[in-house]
Structure 1
Amino acid sequence: MPLPKSLRHSTHDISRALAVAAFLFAPHFAGAAEPAPIPVGLVAALSGQSAASGEAITRGLAVAIDEINQAGGVLGRPVVLVRRDDESNPGKGIAAARELISREHVAAFFGGIDTPVSIALVPIANKEKVPFLGVWAAGTGITHNGANPNYVFRVSAVDALVDQKLLRYAVTAAHAQHPGLMLIDNPWGESNHAGLEAAAKSANVSLAGAESFESGDTDMIAQLTRLKAAGADAIILVGNAAPAAEVIRSLDRMGWNVPVISHWGISGGRFPELAGPSATKVAFVQTYSFFKASPRGEMVLAELEKKYPAIKGPADVIAPVGTADAYDAMHLLALAIAKAGSTEGPAIQAALEALPPYDGLIKRYAPAFTAGDHDALDADDYIMVHFAENKIVPVD
C-alpha cells in the first residue's frame, strides 16, 4: 500500500535507496511465486514493569518495516518482525534468542531494555554468527565484548558516555559538588559505577559515595541516609522504573529534597505512577525527543499517529528513546542486507561495518559503525528530559 501523498517526498531518500537495492539484488523471474519474507527478531520485555519499553521498540521497528516494505522490501522480499518476550529475565532472553535463530531463522535480531539480558545474548549472537542490534540497553560491555568478529551492534546510549553526561549535568545544572550514587545491583549498575567513577575522576569531582539496591527492594532509606550523612548534594540514579520509583518514594519519606539525575531506565515503565508527584523532579537522559523533531521526525510522528490512534502528538509517544533507536536500527539493518546481497549473518555483519553515510531519524550516521566501533551514537546525541505528568518532555 503506497504512502499518503503528503509523506511521499519526505521519504524519497529512503525509498530511492531501498528501491535501488531491491532492483540490484533481487532475482527477477517472470511469473515467480511471492518472495519469501525476511524475518527479523525482537527479544524484549513485552510484559511486566518494563513492558512500555518493549512496546516502544516494537512501534519503532513497525514504522520502519512499513516504510521498507512499501519501498519494495529488501532484496525484493518483504521484512517481517517476530517478537519474543524476555520478561526482563536473562534465562528467558537466551531461550527466546535461540528460538528466533533456530526455528524462525531470523536474519538478525534486536534487543531491549535490560543490560543483564543483553549481556547474556552476546555469546549467542557471536557463536551463531547472527547480528544482534541493541536498541536500548546501555551496558558498555554489550558491544565492547572482545569478540572478533563481533556480531553485536548498538543504536543506543553507552554507559561510559552517559555517565559523563549525567555527572556533567549534576555539576552544571544541579550545582552539585559531591554527588552520591544509587545503583541497581546487577551488571548494568556495575557498568555505571565504573563509568561514573571514571567520569568523576576526569572532572575532578569528589563522589560522596555509592549505594546499591535490588530490583525488588521497597525501602531505600538506609542507603540514602548514608549518602546524606556523607554530604551528598545530588543523587545520580541508575535503575529501571520500579526500583527507581522506590528510591524517590524513600526520599519523600525522609523529607530530603535533593536533586536526582537519572539514567534512562525510568522511561521504560510506570515510573510516574509508581514514584508519585516527585517523579516530575527527576531529570534523565534520552537519545531523541519528538518535541524537537526534524522533518524526518515529523514524518515518523505522523506515521505513529496513523498507526497508533492513542498518539495525538509528541507527548503521547511512550518511551520515545526506544521508538527512535529501533526505527534507525531497522533502516540500518535493511541497508546492510541490501549491501550484502544476502541474509547470511557473516555477510550482514561485514556490511554493517561498511555502510555509507546515512541520514537517520536521530542523526546523520557517517558511518553508523566501523570495524573498531559498533556503537552508532555518541555523547553529543544525548539530551536531558523529565516527566510532565506521564509525558516525557525536554528540560529546557
Structure 2
Amino acid sequence: MTLSSKNFLPTRRTLIETSVAIALVAFSGATLAQSGEPIKFGLVTALSGQSALAGESISRGMQIAIDEINAKGGLLGGRKVELVRRDDEANPAKGVIAARELIYREKVAVVFGGLDTPVSMAIVPLINQEKVPFMGPWAAGTAITKNGAETNFAFRVSAVDEIVDVGMLSYAQKTFNAKKPGLILVNNPWGESNERGLKAAMSAKGVTPAGIEKFEGNDIDMVPQLTRLKAAGADTLFMVGNVGPSAQVVKSLDRMGWKVPVVSHWGPAGGRFSELAGPNAKDVHFVQTYSFFGKQGPVGERVIKAMMAKYPNVKTPADITPAVGVANAYDATHLAALAIQAAGSTQGDAVRQGFYKIDKYEGLIKTYVKPFSPAVHDAVTSDDYVWAQFIDNRIVPVGQTN
C-alpha cells in the first residue's frame, strides 16, 4: 500500500509551530552564550618606555579589582570580567588605533585610558562618537572630562589639572612661602592644560609668575629655560612633565647649582624618576591621590594583601609603586562595575547613565557618595590629594620616612 505524498506535506500550523520552536531554541542558546561571555574592560596605556612602571601599576590595580569582582560572582548574573590591554607607547595616534581595536574587535564595555593627557584627548572624540564609556585612572588634563560633548561618555578617578593647580599654588605658598613662582611645563596639551589652570589659580590669589617656560618631551637640557626663570627672580618652580623630562629639569638645576623649591604635578611618580634625576630627586614635592604608607583602612589592607599574594615582587607597601596608578585604577574598576550593574546591561549609553546611579562605594582613596552626575564626571576632589617625595627610591608622603 502506498501513501499519498500529500500526507507528508506539512500544514501551515505545523510550519509555524516548528519555526517558533526553532526560534526559541536559538534564542535560548544565544541567551546562554551571552550570559557566559566575559565582560571586557579595555586598557590603553604606556606599557613600554620610561612610563611603563606606571602603566603596569594601572594594570595591577584593575586586575586586583577584577579578581574581587569575579570572586563575588562577576556581573549581570555571573558573567566574568576580563582585562584586555594595549600598549599606546605614549603616542596619541597609536592610542587611537588601540582604542579602535578594543571597541570594534574586542567589544569592550568600557575603555580605560592610561597615562598621557595627549593620548586620552585623542581617544575621547572616538568614545563619544561610538558611545562607549571611557574611564580615566591617570591622565589629568581638565578637558578629558570637560570635553564639550553634548552627551559625554568620559569619566575619571584621578587628579584633575585645574584642581591640582590650585593645590600646587596653595602648597607652594604654605610650604615655601612662594611669592613669585616660575612655570616650567611640557609643550603639549597637558602642559597647556596646566598653564591655563596655574594662571587662573595665581590670578585668583593676585600672584604674578616670574615667567613661563616650555620644554619638549625629549629635551635633555633645560638650562636655558631655567636660567631665564632664575634671572626673572623665580623663588619656586611649578613643574609639569612626565618622568624623563622632569628628571632632566632636576639635572639641569644641578648643573646650574640653583637650589630652588620644585612643586610638581605627579609626572615624576610615573617611572624611574629617582634613578634618572639623581640624588636631588628627593627635593621635588609632587601631588598624589593615595599612599600605601602608614595606617591603612580595611580596603587598603585588603589591597596590599592581594598585591603581595599575586605579584612576587611586591613584598612591602613600598613595592606598590606608583601608588596612584594602583589606587586610581582599583577604585575606577569597581565604579565601572557598579555602573554596569546599575545599568543591567553593557550597552554604552545605559552604562553611561549607570554611573549617575551609583549611590555609595567604600573605595581605596575614599568613600564615594554619588561620585558622578551629568555635570560632574570627576570622582576625585581637591580634598583627596596628598603631597609626596622620593626617599630612598620610595614615594612617601612629605615629612614621613617610613
For the 8 Å contact 1:107–1:345, the answer to whether it is kept is yes
Q: Distance in 1 between matches of 2:128 and 2:84?
A: 20
SS in 2 for 1:327: helix
Aligned to 1:65: 66
Q: Which amino acid aligns with 1:340?
A: A
Distance 1:92 1:33, change over 3 A: closer
Aligned to 2:12: none
Displacement over 6 Å in runs of 4+: 29-34
Aligned to 2:188: 186
Aligned to 1:153: 155
Aligned to 2:101: 99
Structure 2 unmatched ranges of 5 or more: 1-27
- Tell me if 1:305 matches 2:308: yes
Tell me the alpha carbon deviations over residues 216-240 of structure 1, each in whole angstroms, 9 at most, x when there is no partner: 1110000000000010011110000
Aligned to 1:327: 330
User: 1:149, CA displacement in angstroms?
Assistant: 1.1
2:172 is aligned, of 164, 170, 173, to: 170
Q: Distance in 2 between matches of 1:203 and 1:378?
A: 20
Q: Which amino acid aligns with 1:112?
A: G
User: 1:31, CA displacement in angstroms?
Assistant: 9.4
SS in 2 for 1:55: helix
Q: Distance in 2 between matches of 1:32 and 1:117?
A: 35
User: 1:33, CA displacement in angstroms?
Assistant: 9.5
For the 8 Å contact 1:184–1:238, the answer to whether it is kept is yes
Aligned to 2:38: 37
Structure 1 unmatched ranges of 5 or more: 1-26
Aligned to 1:338: 341
User: 1:203, CA displacement in angstroms?
Assistant: 1.7
After the TM superposition, which of the residue ranges 196-205 and 74-83 deviates more from structure 2?
Answer: 196-205
Distance 1:48 1:67, change over 3 A: same
For the 8 Å contact 1:239–1:266, the answer to whether it is kept is yes
User: 1:109, CA displacement in angstroms?
Assistant: 1.1
Aligned to 1:314: 317
- Tell me if 1:129 matches 2:131: yes
SS in 1 for 2:109: coil
For the 8 Å contact 1:283–1:386, the answer to whether it is kept is yes
- Tell me if 1:227 matches 2:197: no
Q: Which amino acid aligns with 1:40?
A: F
SS in 1 for 2:387: strand
Q: Distance in 2 between matches of 1:179 and 1:130?
A: 41
Q: Distance in 2 between matches of 1:286 and 1:100?
A: 29
Aligned to 1:12: none
Q: Percent identity?
A: 59
SS in 2 for 1:65: helix
SS in 1 for 2:146: coil
1:348 is aligned, of 342, 348, 351, to: 351
Q: Distance in 2 between matches of 1:166 and 1:284?
A: 8
Q: Distance in 2 between matches of 1:334 and 1:117?
A: 24
For the 8 Å contact 1:113–1:265, the answer to whether it is kept is no
CA root-mean-square deviation: 1.7
Q: Distance in 1 between matches of 2:314 and 2:163?
A: 31
Q: Distance in 2 between matches of 1:31 and 1:106?
A: 19
Aligned to 2:208: 206
User: 1:350, CA displacement in angstroms?
Assistant: 0.7
Q: Distance in 1 between matches of 2:184 and 2:31?
A: 63
User: 1:389, CA displacement in angstroms?
Assistant: 2.1
- Tell me if 1:250 matches 2:252: yes
2:219 is aligned, of 197, 211, 217, to: 217
1:85 is aligned, of 84, 87, 92, to: 87
Q: Distance in 1 between matches of 2:207 and 2:171?
A: 12
User: 1:305, CA displacement in angstroms?
Assistant: 0.8
Aligned to 1:23: none
1:372 is aligned, of 352, 371, 375, to: 375
Tell me the alpha carbon deviations over residues 263-297 of structure 1, each in whole angstroms, 9 at most, x when there is no partner: 00111121111100000111000001111422211
SS in 2 for 1:353: helix
User: 1:370, CA displacement in angstroms?
Assistant: 0.5
SS in 2 for 1:347: helix
Q: Which amino acid aligns with 1:375?
A: D
1:107-126 matches, cutoff 5 A: 107-126=109-128
Tell me the alpha carbon deviations over residues 10-54 of structure 1, each in whole angstroms, 9 at most, x when there is no partner: xxxxxxxxxxxxxxxxx9x99989811111100000001110111
Q: Which amino acid aligns with 1:358?
A: Y
Q: Which amino acid aligns with 2:364?
A: L
Q: Which amino acid aligns with 1:364?
A: T
After the TM superposition, which of the residue ranges 32-41 and 201-210 deviates more from structure 2?
Answer: 32-41
User: 1:202, CA displacement in angstroms?
Assistant: 1.2
SS in 2 for 1:283: strand
Question: Quick check: which has more Rg, 1 or 2?
Answer: 2
- TM (norm. structure 2) is 0.90
